Amino acid sequence: MRLKCLTIFFAVLAAASVPRTAHAQDFDYDSYGVYDPYSNEISGYSITVDYMGYNVDLEADSDLLDPDEETVDSSSDDEIGEAEADVYCVPEQTGTYEIYGSHWYDGDGWDWLGESYDDLDVSDIVTSVSAGSQPWYSGSQTWYSDSPDNPYSITINGLGFTDQPSLSGCSGGIDSSSWTVNYTQISGSLHVSTALSTACTLVLMVGDFAAPPISLEPGTPIVTISCPLGIPKGGSDTCSLAASPLGTQVTLLLSASTGSGSATFDDGSTSKSLTISAPTTVTIKGVDASSTADNITLAASVDGENIASTSFSVVSVSISLNASGSPAGDDAARTAYLQTVVSGGPLGPEINNSNNNTTCSIGVELAGTVSPSNYRGTITLLRNLVSGSTYFSSVLASTISPGPDNSGTSQLDTDPQSGGSNGKVYDLDAPGLSGGSLVHRARYNFQEYAALGSDPTKQVSSNFPYYAAVSCGVDGSGNPVIYSGVNGDNQAGSGTINVTWDLQ
Amino acid sequence: MSHRILVIVLLAGLGFPALCQKLQTTQATKVPDYVLYDAFFFRVKWLSDLADKYSSRGKPASADYIRSLLQKKAGLTAQEDAALKSIAADCRAGDLSIVGVGRALVKAGAAANDARLQALGSQRQQLVASHVSQLQAAMGPARFQKLDSFVRVSSTVKGGTAAPAPK
């Protein structure tokens, strides 16, 4: 290289003395090179071509010069027709490299043709990239939004770094990033957005260097399902669904995990696909009562993988009436009820005192038999008065408006498992009225039904009709006494009665 | 190369001022199109070969980068790039065939003014010209015009005439 200038000068003079022939183009010469940022290699060539004839030797000399103009590689080729000299290096510093070609032909001895140049700008040199402690060149990386490694760290080693890398290809996929850039190393921390809903490919570039693509993957979606403990047989209720990230596509499946019982979605199917873009609900219909508690499963799967499930029971209740003898031993309201019985009964005709109000009453115990018997939730027996009248002897005193006539909590046993009852709930009542010098009569028709919790809209039984009829006089001390005289009076039973004074 | 250095030392001793300009001793002429494109086709083929070498070394990213370099710089479509590479490779194959024939003739003792050698020079020019025409046909006038501009702007080829003494 240092001899180049004098050589050229000599060549100018030498060539000037050579007679020329009239060719439009006898020789051409060229130099060219490329820098590959992936391998950090420079490759280049210098070429001398003879278009005139093929009877002279050509020479191409090629030098590869670093930014300090030091020769880092050189080669020479000597051929007829076309001579090509290739050069190569691994750049160890940034800056402008030069492919320098000097070109000769063998006229009368070696004659100078000219020189050629190509400059290569090596602004950044990437020698290694690692994600955390993992070398990156073994292949592309996959980053998951729910990984404990998130945010991911990157280290890029090399030379000439002045700017932070650019990211493209995954809009919103990286929701925060920080970089530390010094001349020989770039350190980065990139956080994959937990809101990422679909996979995408992130491209990280350092100057011309593009790292192997990074696949960003959403983490396993989180789906939460919440269903009531029981769904009424023949009725319906809703289960709540939520997902993270929003937009998760799930397939829901209803099935019995054990025993018998069934439920469907509102369209009658047992499978449903939906995209959860916001917290939502699905309606579940109870079809067949569960044979055991919590044996109906609502499962959510994403791409065939179950990721959430919950279980519930399809519930039904059968109601019966007990209007004689004593309340059942497993009836949690039994004790409180018995304390109100003054005489008679305790079920059937009795004198009852509740809240300092003494009445002639008909003690009744409504029992609900729950399927499944081991149901864990509460069930309340509720009551409607369907019709009712009171009389003074045979004279109508009042007509009672139909409507809810639910017992107070002290009269109820809403826990199917209380007292070891294994699927029984109870309602103890004592419909009646006070006595008087004229016989007071009461005739009632009721309907009892069972509801999940205490919500009358979640009825889990058919309506159970029953009646109570009682007549009440007073003794010499003014205390109420059961008064007989009308056939079918002073009793309760299933079904209905005529609410007339004489029950006719 | 020792003969060259001796001359340099001799001339340096004669006190010629040191010049560091980029000079040419050939009669610099406007580079004709066949030279421009011959050099361009050489470059295209050389880059393809370099990409293949990277592939064989197990460096696919490098191979992809080199293989797509000219396409990106010249703004070619994938189809145009494929056509260019195919035409350039074909031209280079023909070029080397002509050069091979010339070398064989010289080796067999053909004189400088041998008509066959002169004809080879013409064949070489015609070969390049015909492949430029192929390229033009493949790309269409408008797109070829764009490529042609790129070829001229990016070219570093130099040339001219010289008169080697007959051997």
DSSP secondary structure string for all residues of B29-76: -PPPHHHHHHHHHHHHHHHHHHHHHHHHTT-HHHHHHHHTHHHHHHT-
Pick among 3.20.20.110, 2.60.40.10, 3.30.1330.20, 3.40.50.150: CATH of A222-316:
2.60.40.10
Domain enclosing residue B105, as ranges: 31-154
Mean pLDDT for the stretch of residues A265-273: 95
Is it the case that residue A406 has pLDDT exceeding 60?
Answer: yes
Instruction: Judge whether B47 lies within some domain.
Output: yes
Q: Is the fold of A4-122 the same as that of A222-316?
A: yes
Give me the pLDDT at residue A193, please. Answer: 92
Q: What is the pLDDT of residues B58-108, one digit of tens each?
A: 888 899 999 999 999 999 999 999 999 999 999 999 999 999 998 898 889
pTM (two decimals): 0.57
Instruction: Judge whether B160 lies within some domain.
Output: no
Give me the pLDDT at residue A500, please. Answer: 95
More confident residue, B58 or A463: A463
Total domain count, chain B: 1
Q: What's the fold here for domain A125-217? A: Immunoglobulin-like (2.60.40)
Q: What is the CATH number of domain A4-122?
A: 2.60.40.2550
| Mean pLDDT score of chain A | 90
- At A53, the pLDDT band (50, 70, 90 cuts) reads low
Q: Which of A3, A23, A55, A57 to mutate to test the interface with B (most CBs of B within 10 A)?
A: A55
| Mean pLDDT score of chain B | 82
Mean pLDDT for the stretch of residues A40-59: 87
Asked if the C-beta of B43 comes within 8 angstroms of chain A's C-beta atoms, the answer is: yes
Nearest chain B residue to A16 by CA distance is B25
First to last CA, chain B: 19
In the 8-state DSSP scheme, what is residue A459? B
Q: What is the pLDDT of residues B99-143, one digit of tens each?
A: 999 889 888 988 877 888 888 888 989 999 999 999 999 999 999
Q: What is the pLDDT of residues A64-102, one digit of tens each?
A: 999 999 999 999 999 988 999 999 999 999 999 999 999
Nearest chain B residue to A78 by CA distance is B1
Instruction: Judge whether B1 lies within some domain.
Output: no
- At A111, the pLDDT band (50, 70, 90 cuts) reads confident
Measured CA distances, A442 to A56, A344, A404, A446, A491 (Å) = 136, 18, 17, 13, 11
List B residues 87-126 in contact with A (Cβ-Cβ < 8 A): 95-96, 98-99, 102-103, 105-106, 110-112, 114, 117-118, 120-121, 124-125
CA pair distance A433, A469, nearest whole angstrom: 10
- At A52, the pLDDT band (50, 70, 90 cuts) reads low
Q: Closest Cα to residue A256, out of A289, A213, A303?
A: A289
Flag the least confident range among A13-22, A147-156, A395-404, B83-92. Answer: A13-22
The domain spans of chain A are 4-122, 125-217, 222-316, 323-494
Is it the case that residue B27 has pLDDT exceeding 90?
Answer: no
CA pair distance A214, A229, nearest whole angstrom: 45
Per the CB < 8 Å rule, is A54 touching B120?
yes
Asked if the C-beta of B129 comes within 8 angstroms of chain A's C-beta atoms, the answer is: no
Instruction: Judge whether B119 lies within some domain.
Output: yes
Per the CB < 8 Å rule, is A36 touching B62?
yes
Per the CB < 8 Å rule, is A114 touching B61?
no
Instruction: Judge whether B166 lies within some domain.
Output: no
Q: Quickly count: other Cβ atoms within 10 Å of residue A56's Cβ.
A: 22
CB-CB contact of B147 with B139 (8 Å): yes
- At A383, the pLDDT band (50, 70, 90 cuts) reads very high
CA pair distance A403, A390, nearest whole angstrom: 16
Instruction: Judge whether B82 lies within some domain.
Output: yes
Give me the pLDDT at residue B163, please. Answer: 57
Amino acid at A190: L
Instruction: Judge whether B163 lies within some domain.
Output: no
| C-alpha A342: how far from chain center | 60
Per the CB < 8 Å rule, is A38 touching B69?
no
Give me the pLDDT at residue A242, please. Answer: 92
What is the interface pTM, i.e. ipTM, of the complex? 0.84
Give me the pLDDT at residue A139, please. Answer: 61
Instruction: Judge whether B14 lies within some domain.
Output: no
Per the CB < 8 Å rule, is A55 touching B159?
no
Mean pLDDT for the stretch of residues A135-159: 82
Give me the pLDDT at residue A138, please. Answer: 54
